Structure 1
Amino acid sequence: MTTYPTEKCSILIVDDIEENLIALEALLGPLGQELVRAHSGEEALKAMLRQDFAVVLLDVLMPGMDGFETAANIKRLDQTKDVPIILLTGAEVETDYAYRGYSIGAADFLTKPFDPWLLRTKVSIFLDLHRKNRQLAAQAEQLRRLFAEARTAPAPAPRGRAASAEAEATAERREKGARGKGPRPPETSPRTATAPTEERLAEIGGQLAQIELLLRDTNAAEAPTLADRVAELERAVGSLRLRSE
């Protein structure tokens, strides 16, 4: 299977208080990722439309557009709806905060002051998921290219003794046809000869469609299983390509 280097991911941190942003940067710095600041919900939405983020850390209590409204707007946009959101709240929160957050699609809650180990662990989970999803998408794209090449590849020519026997049979059919001795034996049509390959292509195409469908709804538990399925399809298309060369 193709291997991919571990790449940096982008993390969006949203808080209207500068000191809180500085604290988050200090806590998340050891992860070695790109940290992007936003001081308001409006600024966060603009940032998310400009680039791809693995996870968003979003303060709930902000003036103007608060964290709940910002999260709801993020989930409404097709471009950003799948980005996980961790809501950040103070020690004194209302009892319905968790319900409100999960109801609009937040992935998790963290209460200030943050435990550094817990914060980095939760964020790391979403970073790993983001990388796996990107690898799966890249592998699916590679499968599509191989699948297209296999469909347009010419049928394999006979080799060795099989090629000689085919050549002799063809010459004999032509000679008999020229002398008018009996009906010309039926020749195997290219469609019949390549039927097994076409069936295999159809099978792989159907499995690839299932992978692409599952990729749109993948979660942390499904990612390893999907990776195995994509690897299996990649081997299948690769072997098909080798047989057609």
Structure 2
Amino acid sequence: MTPVVPDKCSILLVDDMEENLVALEAVLGPLHQQIVRASSGEEALKAMLRQDFAVVLLDVLMPGMDGFETAANIKRLDQTKDVPIILLTGTDADTDYAYRGYAIGAADFLTKPFDPWVLRTKVSVFLDLDRKNRQLAVQAEQLRRLLASDRKPVEAAEPEERLVEIAEELAAIELQLRGTEGPGAAALADRTAKVRRTVNGLRVRHAA
């Protein structure tokens, strides 16, 4: 069976002002994803340790732990370092804000007021990347299990029906991997094709 990855992703909104969180939620509502709010940097870090997020929209100007410090802490943790961050700031921001944000590891930087369409478009890119990465992880795990099964002695080979099923699963995984843009996808696809050929060889030997 081809692995299925849920379409819904999680987005974390971080801002100390309630009206800004409401506005962001309204802009991103049409994307139909799970949206989680945090009103401080500390709250954001706790949320990110509880669940996975596809992207974080982080306000720069916050009391206590500001956006830069929050982003830096996110990038220091192994569990959260790869989550893309979009920094948000007002029109009166210092000219070096963008440089500081990118230096910390932020993926993008937007100045308020921003175009809703632009924000949705930028967020959609990260949502699509998250789905592809999760799909690749699921496919890699399924391939690992199939590889483990492939290491069994020929004498212990599965019945013909099971070998046919495994070959079909491998073909489906290979097809999806060929159309996936991500680190390791091509190598996994090649390995999948090799194992599929091995399984087909076992089918021939089993039939004989």
Give the alignment's TM-score, normalised by structure 1.
0.69
Between the aligned partners of 1:123 and 1:153, the Cα distance in structure 2 is 48
Whole-angstrom CA distance in 1 between matches of 2:4 and 2:187: 17
Return 5+ residue gaps in structure 2 as ranges.
158-179, 204-208
Within 5 Å, give how 1:138-157 maps onto structure 2: 138-154=138-154
Q: Which residue of 2 aligns with 1:234?
A: 192
Partner of 1:91: 91
Cα distance change, pair 156–230 in 1 and its aligned pair in 2 (3 A): same
Secondary structure of 1:37's counterpart equals strand
Letter of the structure 2 residue corresponding to residue 234 of structure 1: T
For the 8 Å contact 2:133–2:182, the answer to whether it is kept is no
Query: Counterpart in 2 of 1:128?
Result: 128
1:68-112 deviations in Å (ceiling 9; x for gaps):
000000000000000000000101111111111011100000111
The 1:225/1:68 distance shift into structure 2, 3 A limit, reads closer
- For residues 69 and 29 of structure 1, the distance between their equivalents in structure 2, rounded to whole angstroms, comes to 28
Q: Residue 230 of structure 1: CA displacement?
A: 2.8
Q: Does the 8 A contact of 2:5 with 2:134 survive in 1?
A: no
Map 1:1-245; keep pairs closer than 5 Å. Answer: 2=2, 4-154=4-154, 223=181, 226-245=184-203
- Which whole-Å CA distance do the structure 2 matches of 1:77 and 1:225 have between them? 21
Structure 2 counterpart SS, 1:94: coil
When structure 1 is superposed on structure 2, of 231-240 and 94-103 the one drifting more is 231-240
C-alpha contact 1:150 1:244 (8 A) present in aligned 2: no
Amino acid at match of 2:90: G
Residue type at the aligned position of 1:88: L
User: How many pairs align?
Assistant: 181
State the one-letter code of the partner of 1:83. Answer: V
- Percentage of identical aligned residues: 72
In 1, Cα distance between the equivalents of 2:30 and 2:195? 41
The alpha-carbon deviation at position 143 of structure 1 amounts to 1.3
Partner letter of residue 27 of structure 1?
V
For 1:84 and 1:225, how far apart are their aligned partners in 2? 16
Match of 1:179 in 2: none
Note the C-alpha offset of 1:226.
Answer: 4.4
Aligned counterparts of 2:189 and 2:30: Cα–Cα separation in 1: 32
The CA deviation at 1:236 is 2.2
Q: Which runs of 5+ in 1 are unaligned?
A: 158-221
Per the TM alignment, residue 40 of structure 1 is displaced from its structure 2 partner at its CA by 0.1
SS at match of 1:152: coil
> Based on CA coordinates, which of the two structures has the bigger radius of gyration?
1
Residues 146, 90 of structure 1: alpha-carbon distance in 2 compared, 3 angstrom cutoff: same
